[in-house]
Amino acid sequence: MNEKEVRERNMDVLKTAISSIGTGNNEIFSSLYTDDWVLELPYSEPPKVLKGINEILSYLKPQMGKLEFTLTLTEVFECLDPNLLIAEYASEGRSTITNKPYKNTYIGLWRFREGKICGVKEYLNPLIATMANKPSGNENGK
């Protein structure tokens, strides 16, 4: 595969991953991600580096279902390395706990190996999710 084909394949994988995140579809991990992928969340409290599908799913499973959202790619930057894409994306959804809206923006460094995602370093504001899930004393989230 030449570099152009590698970039196109990786872009397709990224688009599929972005469209699947937030839907609660756990099967996506085995088809799009390597078993040894690394998830870095430098803005979480405390910052996290999670290694391997088992550790990542153990972290993500309790979070899944608290927020329902869709992600939309807003911009993708190609790098000199065809196996690295920098993506900007935005979420739109709601908390299933409070029904409050959830809107966030993200920047992610997405690394690929042999057509699968092997690393994601994601920058987002974690307080937005915390506030969306925090009851306001009004049960309908208004």
pLDDT tens-digit map of 71-124: 999 999 999 999 999 999 999 999 999 999 999 999 999 999 999 999 999 999
**Amino acid letter at 42?**
P
Q: List, for residues 40-81, the tens digit of each pLDDT value.
A: 999 998 999 999 989 998 898 888 889 989 999 999 999 999
For the chain, where are the alpha helices, taking DSSP H only?
3-20, 28-32, 53-60, 126-133
How many CB atoms neighbour CB 34 within 10 A? 19
**What is the mean predicted confidence (pLDDT) over 26-51?**
91
Give the chain's domains with CATH numbers. 3-133 (3.10.450.50)
Q: Is the pLDDT of residue 1 over 50?
A: yes
